[in-house]
Every structure is written in structure tokens, then in C-alpha cells.
Amino acid sequence: MILVRYVLKEHIAPFLLALFVITFLFVVDFLVTILDNVLSKGLPISTVLEIFALNIVWMLSLSIPMAVLVACLMAFGRLSGDQEITAMKAAGVSPLRMMRPVLLVGVLISELLILFNNWILPEANHKSVELMSAVSRKKPHAFIDAGKLTTQFPGVQLWVDRIDPVTGTLYGIQIFETEGMGPPRVVLADSATMDYADHGATLMLRLKSGENHMVEKDDPAQYFRIRFSSEDFAVKNVNDRLERRDRKHRSDREMPVEMMLDVIHEAEKNERAIVQESRGSLFPDLNRLRSLVLGDSIIPRNENWELTSDSLRHVRALRDVSIAERTRLRLVHRTSERVLNERKRQAQYWVEVHKKFSTGVACFVFVLIGAPLGIMARKGGIGTGIIYSIAFFVLYWVCLIGGENLADRLIVSPVLAMWISNAIIGTVGVIFMWKMYRDRYSGTSPLGQFKNGVLVLWRKIRRKKSLPENTP
């Protein structure tokens, strides 16, 4: 029991430190992303803190597995570096026994993270999307980016070349007013300032030195170009109050497993309905039309043939058959696209279902690989172990992200895409643990043993090539 407490105690401080550092890096990246869009646009501090709190949830879902890997690496690396692993082995304590409490804690963290990913993470994502939508309605100018087309305004699209970070003045403005069914109105201006009117219901753009380009709705040949030195452009239906609206629609990242399974079952039902519908519509009149064409040819093979009512009937029937064939091909193509879309929809949601479990199980997998890597770092120092852990972590996320893209394109199954990284890292970890348990590498790490084997094989190949051809 003392050994269990001692080993677990060695993991607490590295885990908390790694969790703080990794989460802090995610936070810095997030702040850089939203700094211009949210923080510098005059939003209340409470709204900014709420946005931060809701987004830190997905950061924790990524940083917890990483912190488990780093904690195992640092804890076992320190025990190995201080020769405590050697002392325990001399006392008859195997490395697997030392790892047993950490493996049990890894299983517990995996279960908690699966529940976290299934219940807390989707709700936080949903609330975050609702809040950002409310912010876009309250402060739509907060989402105006230089060099990007802004489409948040109702009936208006806006392009800005540059934004003064101090005064907020817009430069190089292009406005496309698309309300109604007629041609759009284009407004060009050198600069503009922003203000609210009608108690925040209207956003006023104070344009300077620009032109209006319009086309008469009733007569498109009439084109107008009107220059101005100053003009106010009103964007209506903009609310300056922060009003939250419940969103009934949820994306796959905003759903727990139960809701995603309902969507998958609905997509499977739609696929079966499309297939059943296509069976009755692909060949409606094709057989009947073909029965009208008698013989192998509708025109006699001799040159002295006459145009009779019989031959005309065959010509019309063949024309109808050709039209029906083209219609059938279009129906087949359209049906295939509909079925493919439903299958992609199923794959997309299956990927998210398996991802919630695979990322949770990653905590246990990282214990399998982190502990042996930490013990192997005794000769090369902690830096060597960290390099190994980064390599395995990058391999894990490359397999996960690449597998997700392949599964969404129906190239591989969602199960394989989401679990292949756990299988690879877990297999390597089990091999390392088995080698430690059997103690067969005699002071050489498994990676070092592999390198030595490769070097020996390479030397044999070079020695064989250097021998003369007639040498027995």
C-alpha cells in the first residue's frame, strides 16, 4: 500500500503541471484567434469570461490525455533517473507491479473522460454556439474582418480592406445590398465609421468619398452611377441587446451519443426508403416501350425501302426508348448521390460517436506507453523521454485526424478510423511492458535494442556486398 501511494503521489504534481501548461497553450491560441473579433470590440467582461469558460471545456478534453502521457513520463523518468526503479527491482518488485496503480487510475480517468465527452462537452459546445450567435446579433461589427467577406448582416454583404485598430475606422469598403429580387446595389467608399441608431436596432455606416452603382429594376439597361462625399448606409434589424435564442438545431459536435444514434437511425431509414423508391421509378415504361420495337432493326437493309406507318411506329418507339434510357440514367445518378449523402451522414456521426470513446480510452493507452518511455529515459535524461512521447503523441493525433477525414469520405470505416491510433500505440506499449516484465533487454531499452538490430543487419548487408562475386 505504501508503494501504491508513493507511485501515485509522484504523478500528481506532474499531471497538474502538464494540464496547466497544455491548457494554457490552448488558451493562448484561442485568445489570439478571437482577440480582434470579440475582446477588442467593447463587449462586456462577463460575456468575454463566459465565452472563455465555455471554450475551455473542449481544451480540457484534449489536454487531459496529453497531461496523462507527460505525467507518466516525468514520474517514471524521475524514479528511473534516481535509481529507485533499480532499487525496487532489487527488492523483488517488478516494473509491472509499480505500474499497476497507475494503470487503474488510467482506467478511471478514461471512464470519467468518456462521460465528460458525452455529456459536458456537447452542451458546452451548444451553449458556446448560442452565445456567439447572440454576440453576432448584439455586436455584428465585432465579426467584420479585413480581407474577408462579412455575411452576418441581413440582406447586406460587406468587404473591408483594412480596419484601424485604434479608432475602428473602416477603409476600402464595398457593400453589396441584396435585398429583394432585383439586381444588387453596390456601394463603394474610401472609409467609414460605425454607429448605432434606433436604440441599437440599426447599424449606421458613415461612408466617406464613395459611389453608388445601381441598375433600374424594371429596365436593366438603365445603369446609374452616383458619387457622394458623405452618405449614411443603414443596416436594419440589428439588435444591440444581448438576446439569447434557443437553437433547436445541433451539429454532431453538440450532441451526446444518444442523439447521434437517433440521427444515424434516421439516415439508415432514409437510405432504405430511397432504395425502395428507386426500384419502382427506375424502369417505369422501359419494358413496355421496348416491346413495341419488333425485330433487330426498324429499317430494312435493302435500299428500296418505303416509309410506312409500321416503320414510323418503330421510329417513334425507338425514340421513346432512347428518352426513357436517358431518364433512367439520370435517375440512377440522382439516386446514387442521395444514397451516398445518407451514407456520408451516417459515417460522420459514427465518427463522432467512436471519437468520444477513443479519446477517453487514450488516457489508458498513454499510460501503457508513457510508463515504459519514462523508465527508458534513465540514460538519456528526461529530454529523451519527452522526445519519444511527443513522437507518439503526434502519431496518435495524425492517425486520429487522418482517419476522421478518410471515414467522412467513406474510404475507411469509422471504427477503424477512430481506433487505429489507440491500437498502434497500445500495441507498442504492451510490447514494452512485456519486455520490462521479462527483463530481456539487459539494460538496453526496447528502442535501443531495435536500433542495434537494424545496425547489425545493415552491417551484414554491406559486408555481403563488399565480398567478391566468386567468393564462396
> Could you tell me if 419 and 354 are in contact, meaning their C-beta atoms sit under 8 angstroms apart?
yes
Kindly tell me if the per-residue pLDDT of 339 is higher than 80: yes
pLDDT of residue 41: 55
Could you give the CA distance from residue 457 to residue 297 in angstroms, rounded to a whole number? 73
Are 337 and 363 part of one and the same domain?
no
Could you give the CA distance from residue 98 to residue 189 in angstroms, rounded to a whole number? 71
Whether residue 302 lies inside any domain: the answer is no
Whether residue 253 lies inside any domain: the answer is no
Listed ranges 205-209, 314-318, 320-324; the one with the highest mean pLDDT = 205-209
> Tens digits of per-residue pLDDT, 430-442?
888 887 766 544 4
> Tens digits of per-residue pLDDT, 358-408?
999 999 999 988 888 777 765 544 555 567 767 777 888 888 889 889 998
Are 8 and 56 part of one and the same domain?
yes
pLDDT of residue 50: 85
Q: Which of 235, 252, 277 is the last residue of a domain?
A: 235
Are 323 and 346 part of one and the same domain?
yes
Are 285 and 369 part of one and the same domain?
no
pLDDT band at 443 (very low <50, low <70, confident <90, very high): very low
Could you give the CA distance from residue 355 to residue 407 in angstroms, rounded to a whole number? 12
Are 162 and 104 part of one and the same domain?
no
Whether residue 251 lies inside any domain: the answer is no
CA dihedral 374, 377, 381, 387 (to 10 degrees): -80
Are 216 and 203 part of one and the same domain?
yes
Are 15 and 84 part of one and the same domain?
yes
Task: Write out the three cell numbers for 417.
Answer: 478510423
Are 98 and 132 part of one and the same domain?
yes
Whether residue 249 lies inside any domain: the answer is no
Q: Give the Å distances, CA to CA, from 8 to 15, 52, 71, 148, 164.
A: 10, 32, 10, 51, 54
Whether residue 268 lies inside any domain: the answer is yes
pLDDT band at 139 (very low <50, low <70, confident <90, very high): low
Are 127 and 209 part of one and the same domain?
no
Domain that holds residue 204: 155-235
Average pLDDT over residues 330-350: 86
> Tens digits of per-residue pLDDT, 237-293?
665 555 555 566 788 888 899 999 999 999 889 888 888 877 666 555 555 555 555
Q: What is the DSSP string of 364-391?
A: HHHHHHHHHHHHHHHHHHHHHHHHHHHH
Provide the number of structural domains found in the chain. 3
Are 394 and 425 part of one and the same domain?
yes
> Could you tell me if 212 and 187 are in contact, meaning their C-beta atoms sit under 8 angstroms apart?
yes
> Could you tell me if 157 and 176 are in contact, meaning their C-beta atoms sit under 8 angstroms apart?
yes
Kindly tell me if the per-residue pLDDT of 189 is higher than 90: yes
pLDDT of residue 286: 52
Are 372 and 405 part of one and the same domain?
yes
Task: Write out the three cell numbers for 350.
Answer: 459514427
Summary mean pLDDT of the chain: 77
Whether residue 463 lies inside any domain: the answer is no
Whether residue 245 lies inside any domain: the answer is no
Could you give the CA distance from residue 135 to residue 39 in angstroms, rounded to a whole number? 12
Whether residue 448 lies inside any domain: the answer is no
Are 212 and 115 part of one and the same domain?
no
Could you give the CA distance from residue 204 to residue 193 in angstroms, rounded to a whole number? 8
